[in-house]
């Protein structure tokens, strides 16, 4: 949900306000400070890998990966985002409420990081004490496609997660049974410094709103965004001292491409220089969606590598 810091919801959210929030989405309501990508992507029928047919959102990121030294200009043809190619991001999942139609149920995204593990944002599941109320949809680009529905057996929020300033906005879901989706690798702590390289292009995907006052997308969408320097992210025109060590920003000063409500918890991905995408960030928060000077804010995944490993090693 790309809600704002000031609108982090208590446990009552899970019994009443979730449905109300989706009704508000449909009516065009949006909180002032929101979490998640704005206009994210119509599926491609062709699976050809010729350069002219590779979606520009992916091609841009490949041009400048964390494993290369190349810097490229942003492709001006990408405005907002487009429907993601089928199965381009097999680790992408939708997190929703069990027993409700998938499209109405969806409230956050997540990434498969193991056979029965999903990484998401802490604010997505904050206050949810009953994992059995949640479901995870995988194996599809469409919310109205049955895909594979998995139940959740355990929710683990980072112990230092702060609903006040959104520090350490990360959580892991343990699924009741393994799923067959390809997990995404995590950007290593050693490579995290590459995120500060000027001009680095990343990809964000999700089913969130296609504009700030719009509706949740039925089709998975993706958008290319540029990693923003810490100085720009903490500038007076952006977020000042609201940015903590567990966060980084991505987007464009002029706006137009970003994450939005419903994308929270989903992946921000960068190429590893070997033709693969790896997880560098989690959609966390932002002021509005794709507003000039108001970048999307993401949880810095490499900072939590040890924590993730400990949670998964502990298992049940």
Is 169 assigned a catalytic role?
yes
**Torsion (CA) 84, 88, 89, 93 in degrees, nearest 10:** 60
Q: Half-sphere exposure (CA, 13 Å, Cβ side) for 58?
A: 21
23-to-17, 84, 127, 260, 306 alpha-carbon distances in Å: 10, 25, 21, 16, 39
One of 38, 60, 169, 258 is an active-site residue; which one?
169
Contact 266, 37 (CB under 8 A): yes
The gap from C-alpha 70 to its chain's centroid, in whole angstroms, comes to 25
Q: 3-state DSSP call for residue 134? A: strand
CA distance 151 to 141: 19
One of 138, 217, 259, 264 is an active-site residue; which one?
264
Is 213 assigned a catalytic role?
no
Is 123 assigned a catalytic role?
yes
One of 94, 116, 123, 272 is an active-site residue; which one?
123
- For the annotated catalytic residues, the residue numbers are 123, 169, 264
């Amino acid at each position: 949900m790309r809600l704002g810091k000031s609108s982090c919801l208590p446990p009552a959210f899970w019994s009443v306000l979730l449905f109300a929030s989706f009704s508000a989405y449909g009516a065009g309501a949006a909180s002032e400070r929101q979490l998640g990508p704005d206009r994210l992507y119509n599926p491609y029928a062709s699976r050809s890998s010729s350069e002219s047919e590779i979606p520009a959102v992916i091609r841009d990121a490949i041009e400048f990966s964390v494993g290369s030294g190349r810097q490229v200009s942003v492709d001006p043809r990408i405005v907002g985002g487009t429907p993601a190619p089928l199965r381009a991001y097999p680790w992408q999942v939708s997190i929703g409420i069990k027993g409700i139609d998938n499209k109405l149920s969806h409230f956050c995204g997540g990434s498969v990081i193991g056979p029965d593990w999903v990484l998401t944002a802490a604010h997505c599941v904050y206050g949810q004490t009953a994992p059995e109320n949640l479901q995870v949809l995988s194996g599809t680009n469409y919310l109205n496609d049955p895909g594979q529905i998995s139940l959740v057996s355990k929710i683990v929020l980072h112990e230092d997660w702060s609903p006040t300033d959104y520090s350490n906005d990360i959580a892991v879901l343990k699924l009741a049974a393994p799923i067959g989706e390809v997990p995404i690798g995590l950007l290593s702590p050693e490579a995290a410094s590459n995120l500060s390289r000027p001009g680095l292009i990343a990809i964000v995907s999700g089913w969130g709103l296609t504009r700030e006052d719009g509706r949740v997308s039925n089709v998975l969408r993706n958008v290319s965004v540029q990693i923003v320097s810490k100085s720009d992210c903490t500038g007076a025109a952006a977020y000042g001292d609201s940015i903590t060590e567990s966060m980084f920003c991505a987007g464009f000063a002029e706006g137009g491409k970003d994450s939005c409500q419903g994308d929270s918890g989903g992946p921000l991905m960068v190429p590893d220089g070997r033709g693969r995408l790896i997880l560098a960030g989690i959609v966390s928060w932002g002021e509005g969606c794709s507003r000039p000077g108001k970048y999307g804010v993401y949880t810095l995944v490499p900072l939590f590598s040890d924590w993730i490993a400990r949670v998964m090693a502990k298992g049940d």
